[in-house]
């Protein structure tokens, strides 16, 4: 059973005890690291597992704007699997499994050969030929910013336990902590030392080990010292695949830094058999040349490129799923015009399409219109996609050279838009309150003005209210006799004979 745990560093990861399943394909039989993996998925199964369709509650449309803004923000978690997503899932499934072939921990001599292969790493030498006749099994995925590369990769990797504990396999002891995958961001300085340090940190966070302390000497170790030790750790834990995201950062590396880093990746793949999956934008194209490109041509997984969505069936599938999540009080049907305008404003960039749909609803609610219109879509796009304007224009003109020069398209942030919408709504509510206030304010003013007159009349009445000398209260207060005597002295008591005939 797969479990989710947090280690002492509060890092969340999925782990399980090894449970071996019989492999239909003969080339995968006898590998405990493959037999412990989840089953290979069909395309239909992959769609169901990758999809994330938040629960929709139409009754929430009647709630306040503040509450509906929360519901709208949940749309950001929507994930609609398209063909390229299931295709990538299949590629990664093959990458991980093929990477374990030739690295069977049950083979006699495997652990003896391990040290020799790790010491063979030399980052100053060109990429060597693969050991055991194996060609590199990694792949490179390039795509437009915002098209969903990282999101898709994260969802695919979530289908696998990251850590599998082995104890026994086929009546033989197997003490192994298998690391199925590890994902790192390419360091901004593009140095091999930085990626080694990040690697040791990540392993320690997951496994509660001390590799950073002993192998990296808390950051003091040299690049040459750390490279074979990084390879050793990857081999000891049977790393299934190493994923390097944000590859375009290598463009900022010092002269020659990108080539050295790519050479290092090829060596990890070819010598110790750990597949490397590189992910980045088209800005990375310019340094994916020469020997690296030649080394990657032999990979069986290909090197996919993710362009924008075309305005075709896949765009319609995305919008049909998205359009259901309308929390405005007057939901609109998806018309060809609305679809065309949303495509024109976002150019098929899925992240932009989802967020403009969200922001259009927020603007509709905040303005009181309570429906998605063409004008609102264009308005929020003009306001929110300012930083992406050049990239969107390049996409409209199919100018891929300019797009490669631009590099990253800045991701949209919805939080600041919602905050501005809330501030605008509060201002409008205050203005509305003030418009409804004059009549009641005037009444209060009149009451305040009339109050002094009332007080003056009362003062005059009090002034005229002078106690006479025979006032009963005066008699009782000033007389020292008892009450009866005081009343009699002041002629307030009469004889009973006066009332008799």
pLDDT at 110: 80
- Here the tokens at position 420 are 């501005």
Verify that 366 and 271 share a domain, yes or no.
Answer: no
Decide: 256 and 192 in contact? Cβ < 8 Å.
no
Selection from 182-196, 431-445, 464-478 with the highest mean pLDDT: 182-196
Is residue 162 domain-shared with residue 246, that is, in the same domain? yes
10: pLDDT strictly greater than 50? no
Highest mean pLDDT: which of 229-238, 289-298, 321-330, 388-397? 321-330
- Counted domains in the chain: 2
Is residue 286 one of the residues assigned to a domain? yes
**Segment holding 234, helix H or strand E:** helix 223-236
The more confident residue out of 290 and 461 is: 290
Q: How far apart are CA 33 and CA 42, in angstroms?
A: 21
Instruction: Please give the Cα distance from 228 to 249 (Å, whole number).
Output: 24
Among 412, 441, 468, identify where a domain stops. Answer: 412
Average pLDDT over residues 385-406: 85
How many of the other CB atoms lie within 10 Å of CB of 391?
A: 23
Q: What Cα–Cα distance (Å) separates residue 68 from each residue in 65, 75, 141, 334, 376? A: 5, 11, 37, 21, 18
Residue 24 has pLDDT above 70, yes or no: yes
Rounded Cα distance, 259 and 332, in Å: 53
Helix (H) or strand (E) holding 143: strand 139-143
End position of a domain, from candidates 357, 386, 412: 412
**Using CA atoms, how far apart are residues 31 and 180, in angstroms rounded to an integer?**
14
Answer whether residue 133 shows pLDDT above 50.
no
Indicate whether 317 and 292 sit together in one domain: no
- Whole-angstrom distance, CA of residue 127 vs CA of residue 120: 11
Check residue 8 and give its pLDDT.
44
Residue 149: the pLDDT is: 95
Distance CA(120)–CA(111), nearest Å, equals 15
- Which of 198-207, 270-279, 293-302, 412-421 has the highest average model confidence (pLDDT)? 198-207
Q: What is the token pair recorded at 82?
A: 């398209």
Residue 267 lies in a domain: yes
Identify whether 425 is part of a domain: no
CB contact set of 500 (below 8 Å; sequence gap of 6+): none
**Residue range 452-473: mean pLDDT, rounded:** 52
Question: In terms of domains, do 351 and 250 share one?
Answer: no
Average pLDDT over residues 160-176: 95
Question: Cα separations (Å) of 243 from 53, 108, 198, 300, 337?
Answer: 26, 29, 13, 17, 40
Q: Are residues 329 and 184 in the same domain?
A: no
Residue 192 confidence class, pLDDT cut points 50, 70, 90: very high
Q: Quick one: pLDDT band at residue 153, thresholds 50, 70, 90?
A: very high
Task: Inform me whether the pLDDT recorded for 300 exceeds 60.
Answer: no
501 in any annotated domain? no
Distance (Å) of CA 451 to CA 78, 81, 438, 455: 63, 73, 20, 6
pLDDT category at 298 given cuts 50, 70, 90 is very low
Residue-level pLDDT at 9: 43
pLDDT at 55 over 50: yes
pLDDT band, very low/low/confident/very high, at 164 (cuts 50, 70, 90): very high
Q: Residue 79, SS3? A: strand
- Domain membership of residue 152 (yes or no) is yes
Element of type H or E holding 381: helix 374-384
Token pair for residue 135?
A: 């060609």
Per DSSP (E only), the strands in 144-302 are 163-169, 172-179, 181-185, 241-245, 276-280
Q: Which residues pair with 279 in a beta bridge?
A: 141
- Both tokens of residue 342? 């949303």
- Contacts of 296-300 spanning 24+ positions with Cβ under 8 A: 296/136, 296/138, 296/139, 296/140, 296/266, 298/135, 298/136, 299/135, 299/136, 299/137, 299/138, 299/139, 300/94, 300/98, 300/135, 300/137
Same domain for 329 and 271, yes or no, is no
Structure tokens at 185: 């961001």
Query: Among 366, 388, 412, which residue terminates a domain?
Result: 412
pLDDT in tens, 106-121: 988 787 777 666 666 6
Query: Domain for residue 244, yes or no?
Result: yes
pLDDT (average), residues 12-20:
82
Q: Which residue has the higher pLDDT, 431 or 98?
A: 98
Does a structural domain hold residue 462? no
- Supply the pLDDT for residue 112: 75
Q: Do 320 and 285 fall within a single domain?
A: no
Q: Which residue has the tokens 């063909």?
A: 83
The answer on 348 and 287 residing in a single domain is: no
Question: Which is more confidently placed, 114 or 491?
Answer: 114
Q: How far apart are CA 61 and CA 84, in angstroms?
A: 34
| Residues 230, 231, 235: CA angle, nearest 5 degrees | 120
Residues 302 and 317 in one domain: no
From CA 275, how far away is CA 180, in angstroms rounded?
11
Residue 416 reports pLDDT greater than 70? no
318 plus 302 within the same structural domain = no
pLDDT surpasses 70 at 270: yes
Over range 10-18, report the average pLDDT: 71
pLDDT(362) > 70:
yes
For strand 241-245 and strand 276-280, is the pairing parallel, antiparallel, or unpaired? parallel
The band of 403, judged by pLDDT with boundaries at 50, 70 and 90, is confident
Distances (CA, A) of 185 to 194, 254, 416: 11, 18, 26
Cα 317 off chain centre by: 22
Q: What is the pLDDT of residues 308-325, one digit of tens each?
A: 999 999 999 999 999 999
- Residue 484 lies inside a defined structural domain of this protein: no
Let me know whether 207 and 255 are in one domain: yes
Query: Based on C-alpha coordinates, what's the Rg of the chain?
Result: 39
| CATH code: domain of residue 294 | 3.40.50.300
Task: Using alpha carbons, select from 213, 215, 240, 234 the residue that is nearest to residue 157.
Answer: 240
Structure token digits, residue 79:
């994930």
372 φψ region: left (φ > 0), alpha (ψ -120 to 50), beta (else)? beta
If one compares 367 and 480, the residue with the highest pLDDT of the two is 367
Strand segments (E) across 289-433: 305-306
344 or 269, which is more confident?
Answer: 344
Asked if residue 79 lies in contact with residue 155, where contact means CB atoms within 8 angstroms, the answer is yes
Which is more confidently placed, 497 or 163? 163
Residues 179 and 324 occupy one common structural domain? no
Give the three-class secondary structure for 202: helix
- For residue 7, pLDDT over 60 is answered with no
Q: Which domain holds residue 259?
A: 3-306
Q: Which of 17, 37, 29, 155 is closest to 95 using CA atoms?
A: 37
Task: Report residue 347 as tokens.
Answer: 């150019």
For residue 156, give both structure tokens: 């695919």
* Average pLDDT of the segment spanning 174-183: 96
Q: Which band of pLDDT confidence, cut at 50, 70 and 90, is reported for residue 266?
A: confident
Q: Which of 353, 379, 354 is nearest to 366 (CA)?
A: 379
């Amino acid at each position: 059973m797969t479990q989710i745990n947090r280690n002492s560093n509060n890092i969340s990861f999925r782990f399980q005890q090894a449970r071996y399943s019989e492999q239909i394909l003969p080339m995968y039989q006898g590998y405990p690291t493959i037999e412990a993996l989840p089953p290979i998925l069909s395309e239909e199964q992959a769609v169901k597992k990758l999809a994330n369709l938040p629960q929709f509650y139409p009754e929430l449309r009647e709630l306040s704007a503040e509450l509906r803004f929360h519901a709208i923000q949940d749309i950001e978690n929507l994930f609609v699997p398209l063909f390229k997503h299931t295709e990538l899932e299949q590629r990664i499934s093959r990458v991980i499994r093929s990477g374990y072939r030739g690295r069977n921990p049950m083979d006699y001599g495997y652990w003896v050969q391990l040290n020799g292969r790790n010491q063979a790493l030399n980052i100053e030498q060109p990429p060597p030929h693969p050991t055991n006749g194996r060609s590199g099994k990694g792949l490179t995925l390039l795509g437009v910013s915002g098209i969903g590369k990282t999101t898709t990769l994260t969802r695919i990797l979530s289908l696998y336990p990251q850590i599998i504990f082995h104890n026994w396999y086929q009546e033989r002891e197997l003490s192994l902590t298998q690391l199925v995958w590890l994902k790192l961001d390419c360091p901004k300085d593009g140095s091999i030392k930085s990626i080694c340090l990040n690697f040791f940190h990540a392993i320690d966070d997951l496994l509660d080990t001390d590799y950073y302390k002993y192998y990296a000497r808390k950051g003091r170790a040299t690049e040459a010292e750390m490279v074979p030790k990084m390879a050793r750790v990857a081999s000891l834990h049977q790393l299934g695949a190493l994923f390097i995201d944000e590859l375009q950062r290598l463009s900022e590396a010092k002269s020659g830094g990108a080539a050295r880093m790519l050479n290092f990746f090829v060596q990890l793949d070819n010598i110790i058999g750990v597949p490397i999956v590189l992910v980045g934008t088209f800005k990375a194209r310019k340094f994916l040349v020469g020997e690296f490109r030649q080394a990657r041509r032999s990979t069986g997984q290909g090197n996919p490129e993710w362009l924008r969505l075309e305005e075709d069936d896949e765009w319609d599938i995305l919008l049909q799923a998205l359009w259901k999540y309308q929390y405005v009080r007057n939901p609109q049907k998806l018309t060809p015009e609305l679809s065309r305008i949303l495509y024109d404003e976002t150019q098929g960039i899925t992240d932009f399409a989802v967020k403009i749909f969200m922001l259009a609803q927020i603007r509709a609610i905040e303005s009181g219109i309570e429906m998605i219109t063409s004008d609102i879509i264009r308005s929020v796009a003009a306001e929110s996609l300012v930083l992406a304007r050049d990239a969107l224009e390049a996409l409209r003109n199919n100018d891929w050279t300019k797009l490669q020069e631009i590099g990253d398209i800045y991701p949209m942030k919805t939080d600041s838009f919602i905050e501005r919408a809330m501030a605008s709504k509060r201002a409008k509510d205050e203005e509305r309150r003030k418009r409804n206030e004059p009549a009641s304010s005037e009444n209060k003013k009149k009451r305040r003005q009339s109050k002094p007159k009332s007080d003056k009349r009362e003062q005059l009445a009090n002034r005229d209210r002078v106690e006479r000398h025979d006032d009963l209260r005066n008699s009782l207060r000033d007389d020292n006799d008892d009450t009866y005597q005081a009343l009699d002295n002041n002629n307030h008591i009469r004889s009973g004979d006066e009332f008799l005939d």
